[in-house]
A and B are shown apart, each in its own frame.
Chain A
């Protein structure tokens, strides 16, 4: 039964860590928007870039 004396404090430490992690997540707005992340993988458009950026890509293509 001595194993209990080690394992019980371990569970308490695990709870402490879990609560700390959860508090961090709540404080950093991780739970504020529960709807839009669900559609994030469905986005197929590449992230929009500046026109100047696109122009550079075009210019490089022509150089090749």
Chain B
């Protein structure tokens, strides 16, 4: 209940509650534990039972709930209490993540579709009467009346339903590129204008039925595509929401508690571990640190910050832990920047429409040329049929399906990958992943997780194991290295560690700090005992040593457990024809057993980041497409250097990740799934493109010779687009 009450703080509430014009409040929540529809409905009824609740919208697959209510009648903690009472944990999301754009886009598309459908049916009945009237019982003036009625009924279709095509074409023209909206808009406008002129003149063919059906069918295809896109978009959002940026706040007694960065208030003291993201704007209280602000300023070189300097939210602390006092003034700007971090992840995920459109624009240019040629050809042969044939070519040859292929397939793939716990941060990463045939794995933190039990602790000066573990944990707590984390985790069972002062982390070596006035060093033997000679430390290779000024205090032997899914993932990659390699900074005696367990013959010990990069370069020279897998920030060089890279990280790790794929929740098996999906995407895209090209090539001659009426061309176009969208759903069908 304590955490619930915290949301009564006005500054916190202001970050998550969006005031509405009608005086009510709106909030978006991330809710876990919604399993079946009955539970969803029960929850809905519970919320509705609260006083002042106006509207509840629950999106169960995305784990999102939106509530509109009167905050004066029910407080935010009371609202959250209902969720806690229903055994669903609810996490408020930042108010700017309340996304109306999607719902409104959907509403507009649905309205346009329905108006199009209703009036298209009306126009069809009139057209039917006219077709019969030519033969039989309706006299000539009635025929004129029906032509005018058709014109009248087509007006809402062209001027309301077809708006997106005209707006799209306009945008394309303004950007001086040829998109798929242009031929559609051109066809609709030309056919409508010609028919309207013929209606006014009182004679000549009219095509109101064709143009209205054309627009209706296209809108139907687009609506389905929009639904699929929003669905997978919501699933991806759910993954990002599930990993909010966390902060470690120091309580009054000096111990740390983990809270959402959103829940920080000015004056809070926050601890940021080495490699961590600064959760809020604030003043640096501890010693000098190096900070990566690339995401905020674009400056790629790390900057140095001294005690008393300001740190901005979203930057990454590279060296040593930082102690931060949260400031009042920056709360809003910082929050916006953190929002931008999540936004970056969202944008990276949204399929690159441009990639498909680049290919399409060349295509459109040819379509337009072909249309003009057809018109000219018919003008020479039979001018009366030139217009109809030209319009048919324009519609038939329009590369809608072609342009849809990549976005539709990627949308589907990214949604699926998000379900498998894989976030794609570079939209063209799937292609090299499908082709990759050499994979380089980091060991510690990636293939294996270090674990420590009390039996592996050897006190060297007569202290108890629990005591030396507490001392070591005080230092280890300040680092994000996997070994340090294993130590801290082992110590957590024995209560919170004491607090160390003046902690400095030396990358790749160890941690130093002062505990109760005693200078302690934890790390590789060479680091812990800088004065000892190499021979003395060599015997302790592979262990962590805790030492003070008088010498070694204790030795920690960390056993490494391969991740539970490591063997299966490597086996499936190997079966897929990928040659595997392990490169570790560790000693050979520790890499060899793990490599043997996992069945990897090609392993390298004592590798510095530069050596690992050389391994990759060498593989690439031999013609391999390389995949690098690491655990986030400390493998940055190989992650950046490989053709495609994956990192085990949380969603907030995006800030520092140089990886193309992020494997969430420490699940390595996502990698094998991602590769299967990447291959399916490649195959499906190639197949869809072949289909759409074959369809266009096949239909164009018929249209050019005047054998395809415009309405049939419209149906063909919609069906081919629909076929591509449906084909995209084959991805993940047989994983």
CB of A45 within 8 A of CB of B114, answer: no
* Contact digits for A5-47, partner B, Cβ 8 Å, 1 yes 0 no: 0001001100100110011001101011101101110110101
Alpha-carbon distance between A16 and B472 when the two chains are bound, in angstroms: 77
B303 at the interface (CB under 8 A from A): no
Least distance between B168 CB and chain A CB atoms (Å): 22
A38–B41 CA distance with the chains assembled, in angstroms: 11
> How far, in angstroms, from A8 to B60 measured CA to CA in the complex?
46
Residue of A nearest to B122 (CB): A15
Nearest CB in chain B: distance from A20 CB, A: 11
Residues of A with C-beta under 8 A to B153: 12
Measured between alpha carbons, how far is A1 from B149 in the docked complex, in Å?
A: 16
From A18, A19, A32, A38, contact of B103 by CB (8 A): A32
Closest A residue, CB atoms, query B45? A47
Residues of B within 8 A of A47 (CB): 45, 49
A4-B142, A39-B38 given as contacts; is B115 within 8 A of A48 (CB)? no
Contact A32 B118 (CB under 8 A): no
Cβ distance A50 to chain B, nearest Cβ, rounded Å: 8
Contact B37 A39 (CB under 8 A): yes
Q: Is the Cβ of B46 less than 8 Å from the Cβ of A48?
A: yes
B494 at the interface (CB under 8 A from A): no
Residue in B46, B60, B115 whose CB lies within 8 Å of A19: B115
Residue of B nearest to A36 (CB): B37
**Complex Cα gap A43–B139 (Å):** 60
**In the bound complex, how far is the Cα of B113 from the Cα of A19, in angstroms?**
11
Query: CB < 8 Å: which of A12, A22, A39 contacts B111?
Result: A22
Assembled-state Cα–Cα distance A39/B60 (Å): 14
**Does chain A have a CB within 8 A of B107?**
yes
Give chain B residues whose Cβ lies under 8 Å from the Cβ of A12.
122, 153
- Indicate if B58 sits at the interface (CB-CB under 8 A): yes
A53–B330 alpha-carbon span in the complex (Å): 47
Taking a contact as CB atoms closer than 8 A, the residue among A8, A11, A31, A43 that contacts B38 in the complex is A43
Q: Do A8 and B119 touch across chains, with their CB atoms under 8 A apart?
A: no
**Bound CA–CA A39/B38 (angstroms):** 7
C-alpha spacing A33/B118, complex, angstroms = 23
Contacting pair A18 B118 (CB below 8 A): yes
List of A residues within 8 angstroms of B45 by Cβ: 47-48
Complex-state Cα separation, A32 to B40, whole angstroms: 15
A29 and B122 contacting across the interface, CB-CB below 8 Å: no
The CA-CA distance from A42 to B37 in the complex, in Å, is 10
CB of A48, distance to nearest CB on chain B (Å): 6
The answer to whether A19 touches B41 (Cβ under 8 A) is no
Contact residues of B: prevailing secondary structure: helix
Q: Which residue of B103, B107, B122, B139 contacts A11 across the interface (Cβ within 8 Å)?
A: B122
CB distance from B509 to the nearest CB of A (A): 55
Q: Per-residue CB proximity of B33-54 to A under 8 Å, as 1/0?
A: 0000110111011100100000
Number of B residues near A (Cβ < 8 Å) is: 30
Partner of B107, one of A4, A27, A35: A27
Contact B57 A40 (CB under 8 A): no
Give the distance to chain A from B700, nearest Cβ to Cβ, in Å.
Answer: 37
Alpha-carbon distance between A18 and B122 when the two chains are bound, in angstroms: 13
Assembly CA distance A48 to B231 (angstroms):
31
Give bound CA distance, A8 to B142, whole Å: 12
- Out of B41, B59, B149, name the residue touching A40 (CB < 8 Å): B41
Contact B42 A26 (CB under 8 A): no
CA distance A12 to B150 in the complex (A): 12
- The answer to whether A1 and B142 touch across the interface, beta carbons within 8 angstroms, is yes
Which of B42, B49, B118 lies in contact with A43, CB distance below 8 A? B42
Query: B79: CB under 8 A from chain A?
Result: no
* Contact of A42 with B38 in the complex, beta carbons under 8 Å: yes
Q: B226 interface residue, CB < 8 Å from A?
A: no
A48-B111 contact, Cβ under 8 Å, with A35-B37, A36-B60: no
Residues of B near A19 (CB, < 8 A) are: 114-115, 118
Question: Are A15 and B119 interface neighbours, CB within 8 A?
Answer: yes
B57 & A33 in contact (Cβ 8 Å cutoff): yes
Whether the Cβ atoms of A15 and B111 lie closer than 8 Å is: no
Nearest CB on B from A58, distance (A): 20
For the complex, is B110 an interface residue (Cβ under 8 Å from A)? yes
Indicate if the CB atoms of B103 and A36 lie closer than 8 Å. no
Which residues of B (111-140) have their CB < 8 Å from a CB of A? 111, 114-115, 118-119, 122, 138-139
Closest chain A residue to B152 by CB distance? A12
Contacting residue for B49 out of A27, A35, A45, A48, CB 8 A: A48
Q: Which residues of A contact B57 (CB under 8 A)?
A: 29, 32-33
A36 touches B40 (CB 8 A): yes
Residues of chain B within 8 A of A33, CB atoms compared: 57-59
Complex Cα spacing A4 to B118, Å: 20
Collect the chain B residues with CB atoms within 8 Å of residue A31's CB: 107, 110
Q: How far is the CB of A24 from chain B (nearest CB, A)?
A: 11
What separation, in Å, do the CA atoms of A22 and B103 have in the docked complex?
16
B41 near A39 with CB under 8 A, answer yes
Q: Report chain A residues within 8 Å CB of B111.
A: 22-23, 26
Q: With A19-B114, A26-B107, A42-B38 known to touch, is A36 a contact of B119 (CB < 8 Å)?
A: no
B149 touches A22 (CB 8 A): no
Contacting A at CB under 8 A, from B340-367, are none
| B114 x A22 contact (CB < 8 A) | yes
Q: How far is the CB of A6 from chain B (nearest CB, A)?
A: 13
Measured between alpha carbons, how far is A10 from B37 in the docked complex, in Å?
43
Chain A residues near B106: list those with CB within 8 A: 32
Residue in A closest to B142 when the chains form the complex, CB atoms: A1
Evaluate contact between B42 and A45: CB separation under 8 angstroms: yes
A45 surroundings in chain B (CB, below 8 A):
42
* Closest residue on chain A to residue B139 by CB atoms: A1
Least distance between A53 CB and chain B CB atoms (Å): 10
Flag if A8 contacts B149 (CB, 8 Å). Answer: yes
Contact with A along B142-174 (1 / 0, CB 8 A): 100100010001000000000000000000000
Name A29's closest neighbour in chain B (CB-CB): B57
Find chain B residues with CB under 8 A from A38 CB.
37
Chain A residue nearest to B115 in the complex (CB): A19
| Cross-chain contact A26 with B110 (CB below 8 angstroms) | yes
The 7 closest A-B pairs by CB, nearest first: A39-B37, A26-B107, A36-B37, A22-B114, A47-B45, A26-B110, A15-B118
Contacts A/B (CB < 8 Å), 21 sampled? A4-B145, A12-B153, A19-B118, A23-B111, A26-B107, A27-B107, A31-B107, A31-B110, A33-B58, A36-B37, A36-B40, A36-B58, A36-B60, A38-B37, A39-B41, A42-B38, A45-B42, A47-B45, A47-B49, A48-B46, A48-B49
